[in-house]
Amino acid sequence: MGSRMKKLALIVMVALSLAIIASGCAGEGALEGGGEGGGAGGDAVVVGSANFSEQLILGNMYAELLEDRGVSVERRLNIGSRDTLFPALESGEITLVPEYTGALLVFRAEGEEEELKGSEPSQVTDRLREELPDGLVALDPAEAQNRGSLAVLPETAEEYELETYSDLAEVADELAVGGPPEFPTRYSGLVGLQEVYGIEEFGEFRALDAGGPLTAEALSSGQIDVARVFTTQGVIKDQGWVVLEDDKNMELAQNIVPVISEPALTDEIQSALNELSAGLTTENLISLNERVEVDREDPEDVAREYLQENGLIE
């Protein structure tokens, strides 16, 4: 096995291990006093997050930043999916989470992907604010986005002259695509590709995971030609994959945005989180994710060092 494949195998093993740990944490009463920060109590801001690397980095950033500003904080990170996390936010059990504008909008208002395709990020954010329930506030979004996309190996991009989704439309029926089981039926999958790009079908579809270790292994080993990925994944840069440009903006903007319970929001908290968002770029996220996903650094350490290096905490 070559050194590149050995490294990928290690990444896959680490990712699988983290997934098992995350699943266990989420299943052991993460909203019942378990997890990293215990239960909500007093006037503490309870920071929650979903259970993947980027969310752990962002959740720790929010917590470290507010603690540095003298705010009492409890961490309830690694909770699980939005289906679990958002109800906890609505109920007040969690008071602050890092979110993604487009994904949360679709969660709140089914069908918005089709209605808003091609929209500017600011339009997606404005629409999200309209859809949030009373008592929840979306603060300033970051420039940073983590969008769903399609990636290919460099040799595949060269062979088929692929740079954009539009290029893919001409050859999709010759290629195998891999992604989550719902890919064929979601607007962010084949439904949108058919409507926006005229891609009726791929040569083959393989049900894998949502940009996780199964997809990474399948793409690198040649089991699939096209992979459904998320643009800030550290493995993309590490493996040198080519991310195709969504040149007709099928995917909604997915800017990172803090969503907070309004009773917990103070001018000091708003100012601190907006300051963080103002400097956070997609390139930042890619580098930070690579440190956690590939180099196996601790998300809390990575978050703290980013804040220190950018003058946000001492």
Is residue 82 one of the residues assigned to a domain?
A: yes
Question: Which among 243, 277, 298 is the end of a domain?
Answer: 243
pLDDT digits (tens, 9 = 90+) for 204-229: 999 999 888 999 999 999 999 999 99
* Residue 270 within any structural domain of the chain: yes
Shared-domain flag, residues 188 and 130: no
The three-state (H, E, C) secondary structure of the chain, written as one string: CCHHHHHHHHHHHHHHHHHHHHHHHHHCCCCCCCCCCCCCCCCCEEEECCCCHHHHHHHHHHHHHHHHCCCCEEEECCCCCHHHHHHHHHHCCCCEEEEEHHHHHHHHCCCHHHHHCCCCHHHHHHHHHHHCCCCEEECCCCCCECCEEEEECHHHHHHHCCCEHHHHHCCHHHCEEEECCCHHHCHHHHHHHHHHHCCCCCCEEEECCCCCHHHHHHHHCCCCCEEEEECCCHHHHHHCCEECECCCCCCCCCEEEEEEEHHHCCHHHHHHHHHHHHHCCHHHHHHHHHHHHCCCCCHHHHHHHHHHHCCCCC
Res. 42 pLDDT band, cuts 50 70 90: low
**CATH number for position 10:** 3.40.190.10
Model pLDDT for residues 259-285, shown as the tens digit of each residue: 999 999 999 999 999 999 999 999 999
Q: Are residues 134 and 160 in the same domain?
A: no
Instruction: Examine the domain organization and report whether 86 and 192 are in the same domain.
Output: no
Q: Please give the structure tokens belonging to residue 69.
A: 């500003």
The token pair at 84 is: 């679990």
Do residue 271 and residue 138 come from a single domain?
yes
- On whether both 98 and 132 belong to a single domain, the answer is yes
Using the 3D structure, point to which of 195, 216, 243 is the last residue of a domain: 243
Residue at 207 is within a domain: yes
303-310 mean pLDDT: 98
Domain extent, residue 70, equals 3-145+254-309
Residues 138 and 155 reside in one and the same domain: no
The Cα 152–Cα 200 span in angstroms is 19
Q: Classify residue 248: in a domain, yes or no.
A: no
Residue 211 lies in a domain: yes
Domain assignment present for 314: no
Assigned domain for 165 exists: yes
Q: Are residues 140 and 233 in the same domain?
A: no
81 shares a domain with 211: no
What end-to-end distance do the CA atoms of the chain give, in Å? 45
Residues 94 and 154 in one domain: no
Q: What is the mean pLDDT of the chain?
A: 88
Chosen domain end from 216, 243, 270: 243
Residues 117 and 152 in one domain: no
pLDDT digits over 167-207, tens only?
A: 999 999 999 999 999 999 988 899 999 999 999 999 999 99
In a domain, 249, yes or no: no
pLDDT in tens, 11-29: 544 444 444 333 333 333 3
CATH number at residue 161: 3.40.190.120
Task: Please tell me whether residues 274 and 162 are part of one structural domain.
Answer: no
Task: Judge if 101 and 137 occupy the same domain.
Answer: yes
Q: Is the pLDDT of residue 138 over 50?
A: yes
Q: How many domains does the chain have?
A: 2
